[in-house]
């Protein structure tokens, strides 16, 4: 849903309900306010700072969407541990205990998320949004899937957060529930702000909700699009009222600190490896595919020694390339299918760091596959030669291959034919490195007739070029 001319300002300690029919643009607006969705025009400012230019400000936002942004094969505690590390939450285990208790999810903290009910997942998702003690809370239908008592407890929690000076913007289709919480309600319809209503006036809200945009009713006190007397905590507009809240005021509570990039990187890699360890849905397929490739070529080719020497390096790298293609693709498809990519994009995690983290995870999985494939290749193809240099070529080649695969897998995962797009995109691009590694492997095995050219230099140049390209353009790939 497209948004048109939406200007919204919120003060610290204010609770605003965003209401409107399905398709009115509520979710789009919330996602734009988080910075996950980049508006075509306009900007989001927090305490006067532009969110788009200060990604670290994402630490001040807690978002709960329709999708819980939880890894279904991890437990709530593991999910919170991961997000806590990425957000740089101090005394993390204690804080996890606190938010689990606040959302009454302690009892299910160590069960896999996929085994939890919709309502329980919703509560854990709220715990995730609260974990880093954000000053701005954006909650998309936080009451969905909750029974009456859980809704009451969430309402009490939101009131407490508001009393702490946090700005809360939430959507709901339950108007009575929304009005008991909100200081102000904004009616959104067809991507435009229809009305603003201040104060708890249930009947008025219900009436405005049903009426078309621009019915001519007078705007409520405070006025449409006008900032409240306090500070604008968030806004999407071409013109934004001057801020009254400093960036320091908007930083998360004292117990959190800006996380180091290495800490975030390790957190993402550890999470990816833990997921892979639990599911084994990439490494198993990659291994089987690589081994099947070796075996198939071994059956198909005439195995006289001179043929062996000529084709061996090529066969090894075809197996590595084909096997490795399955991993990065699976990693991104898993993030996308589970809706967890949003969770990563919401985090104050630099996109380049995310690229490097995803690459590191992919390289580790590829290393496992190669560790099994290489002995199988040596045995099946009766290879003799300098295994040390060959291992060096394998490592250098895998880095370049992994960099291109990681970047293009993120692209392919967002296409309609994501299962088939990665090979189509990848194979033409990796031709140079495939030539390089095959020739270098042949040299290492003493089986190539090629001139003694600096193949390793070519491989390293390819690695450097695509690592740099990945770091530079990954943010454009992930952008919504």
Partner 1 sequence: MIVDDRAGNRWRAILVAATALMGAIALVMVVGYAPTDRVQGIVQRVFYFHVPMAWTAYLAFLVVLVASIGYLWKRDLRWDAVARASVEVGLLFTTLVLITGSLWGKPIWNTWWTWDARLTSTLVLWFTYVAYVMLRAYTPDLERGARFGAVLGILGFLDVPIVHFSVQWWRGLHPTPVVVRSDPQLPPEMQVTLLVSGIAMLLLYATFMAYRTRLELIRDQNGLLQENREVAGVAPA
With CA atoms as reference, report the closest residue to 67 among 273, 327, 344, 348: 344
**Whether 71 contacts 275, CB under 8 Å:** yes
Query: Which residue, 97 or 432, is less far from partner 1 as judged by CB?
Result: 432
Report the alpha-carbon distance of residue 380 to residue 208 in Å, rounded.
Answer: 75
Q: Which of 373, 439, 441, 447 binds partner 1 (CB under 8 A)?
A: 439
Grouping H, G, I as helix, E, B as strand and the rest as coil, residue 242 is coil
Q: Does 473 bind partner 1 (CB under 8 A)?
A: yes
Q: Does 431 bind partner 1 (CB under 8 A)?
A: yes
Q: Does 453 bind partner 1 (CB under 8 A)?
A: yes
Q: Does 159 bind partner 1 (CB under 8 A)?
A: no
Query: Which residue, 216 or 428, is less far from partner 1 as judged by CB?
Result: 428
- The stretch near partner 1 (CB under 8 A) out of 126-134, 291-299, 361-369, 447-455 is 447-455
Tokens of 5: 């001319």
Report the alpha-carbon distance of residue 51 to residue 73 in Å, rounded.
Answer: 32
Backbone phi, then psi, for 396, in 5-degree steps?
-65, -40
Q: Which of 297, 436, 441, 445 binds partner 1 (CB under 8 A)?
A: 436
Q: Which of 462, 463, 467, 471 binds partner 1 (CB under 8 A)?
A: 462
Phi-psi domain of 188 (left: phi exceeds 0; alpha: psi -120 through 50; beta: other): beta
- The stretch near partner 1 (CB under 8 A) out of 280-288, 295-303, 320-328, 456-464 is 456-464
CB 461, min distance to partner 1, A: 7
Query: Sheet of 61-64: strands edge to edge?
Result: 61-64, 136-140, 167-171, 15-19, 184-189, 192-198
With CA atoms as reference, report the closest residue to 269 among 378, 354, 349, 191: 354
Residue 271: C-alpha distances to residues 112, 121, 249 (Å): 14, 19, 32
**Whether 247 contacts 48, CB under 8 Å:** yes
Q: Which of 90, 150, 285, 465 binds partner 1 (CB under 8 A)?
A: 465
Cα angle: 269, vertex 134, 10; to 5 degrees? 135
Query: Which residue, 104 or 190, is less far from partner 1 as judged by CB?
Result: 190
Query: Which residue, 182 or 316, is less far from partner 1 as judged by CB?
Result: 316
**Whether 346 contacts 69, CB under 8 Å:** yes
Q: Does 458 bind partner 1 (CB under 8 A)?
A: yes
Q: Does 414 bind partner 1 (CB under 8 A)?
A: yes
Report the alpha-carbon distance of residue 14 to residue 288 in Å, rounded.
Answer: 56
CB 36, min distance to partner 1, A: 14
CB 390, min distance to partner 1, A: 19
For residues 188-217, which are near partner 1 according to CB under 8 A? 190-191
Q: Does 469 bind partner 1 (CB under 8 A)?
A: yes
Tokens of 4: 């048109």
Helix, strand, coil percent content, the chain, rounded in steps of 5: 60, 10, 35
For residues 38-57, which are near partner 1 according to CB under 8 A? 40
With CA atoms as reference, report the closest residue to 329 among 445, 249, 418: 418
CB 455, min distance to partner 1, A: 8
- The stretch near partner 1 (CB under 8 A) out of 54-62, 107-115, 361-369, 462-470 is 462-470
Count of residues of this chain found to bind partner 1 when the rule CB under 8 A is applied: 38
What is the residue whose two structure tokens read 């797009």? 421
- The stretch near partner 1 (CB under 8 A) out of 88-96, 108-116, 353-361, 472-480 is 472-480
Q: Which of 275, 425, 445, 456 binds partner 1 (CB under 8 A)?
A: 425
Q: Which of 147, 203, 306, 476 binds partner 1 (CB under 8 A)?
A: 476
End-to-end Cα spacing for the chain:
13
Report the alpha-carbon distance of residue 427 to residue 438 in Å, rounded.
Answer: 15
Q: Does 266 bind partner 1 (CB under 8 A)?
A: no
Per CB under 8 A, residues contacting partner 1 are: 1-2, 4, 40, 190-191, 404, 407, 411, 414-417, 421, 424-425, 427-429, 431-432, 435-436, 439, 450-451, 453, 455, 458, 461-462, 465-466, 469, 473, 476-477, 479
């Amino acid at each position: 849903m497209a948004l048109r001319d939406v200007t919204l300002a919120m003060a610290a300690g204010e609770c605003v309900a965003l209401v409107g029919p399905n398709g009115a643009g509520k979710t789009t607006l919330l996602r734009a306010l988080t910075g996950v969705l980049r508006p075509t025009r306009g900007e989001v400012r927090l305490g006067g700072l532009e969110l788009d230019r200060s990604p670290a400000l994402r630490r001040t936002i807690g978002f709960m969407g329709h999708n819980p942004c939880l890894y279904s094969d991890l437990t709530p505690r593991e999910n919170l541990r991961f997000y806590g590390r990425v957000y740089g939450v101090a005394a993390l285990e204690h804080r996890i205990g606190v938010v689990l208790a606040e959302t009454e999810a302690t009892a299910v903290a160590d069960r896999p998320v996929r085994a939890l009910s919709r309502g329980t997942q919703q509560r854990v998702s709220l715990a995730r949004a609260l974990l880093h003690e954000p000053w701005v809370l954006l909650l998309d239908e936080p009451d969905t899937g909750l029974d009456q008592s859980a809704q009451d407890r969430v309402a009490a929690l939101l009131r407490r957060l508001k009393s702490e000076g946090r700005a809360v913007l939430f959507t709901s289709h339950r108007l009575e529930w929304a009005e008991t919480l909100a200081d102000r309600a904004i009616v959104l319809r067809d991507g435009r702000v229809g009305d603003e209503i201040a104060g708890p006036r249930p009947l008025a809200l219900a009436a405005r909700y049903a009426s078309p945009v621009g019915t001519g009713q007078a705007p409520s006190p405070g006025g449409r699009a006008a900032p409240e007397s306090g500070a604008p905590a968030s806004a999407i507009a071409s013109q934004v009222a001057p801020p009254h809240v400093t960036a320091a005021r908007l930083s998360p509570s004292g117990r959190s600190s800006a996380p180091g990039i290495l800490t975030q990187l390790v957190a993402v890699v550890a999470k990816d490896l833990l997921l892979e360890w639990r599911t084994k849905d990439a490494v198993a397929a990659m291994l089987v595919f690589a081994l099947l490739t070796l075996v198939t070529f071994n059956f198909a080719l005439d195995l006289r020694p001179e043929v062996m020497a000529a084709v061996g390096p090529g066969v090894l790298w075809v197996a590595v390339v084909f096997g490795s293609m399955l991993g990065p693709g699976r990693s991104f498809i898993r993030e996308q299918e589970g809706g967890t990519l949003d969770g990563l994009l919401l985090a104050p995690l630099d996109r380049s760091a995310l690229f490097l983290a995803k690459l590191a995870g992919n390289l580790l999985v590829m290393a496992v596959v190669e560790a099994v494939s290489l002995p199988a290749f040596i045995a099946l193809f009766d290879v003799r030669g300098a295994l040390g240099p060959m291992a060096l070529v394998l490592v250098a080649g895998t880095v370049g291959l992994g960099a291109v695969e990681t970047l293009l897998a993120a692209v392919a995962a967002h296409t309609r034919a994501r299962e088939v797009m990665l090979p189509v995109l990848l194979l033409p691009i990796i031709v140079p490195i495939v030539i390089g590694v095959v020739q270098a492997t042949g040299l290492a095995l003493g089986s190539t007739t090629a001139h003694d050219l600096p193949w390793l230099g070519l491989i390293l140049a390819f690695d450097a070029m695509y690592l740099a390209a990945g770091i530079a353009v990954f943010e454009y790939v992930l952008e919504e």
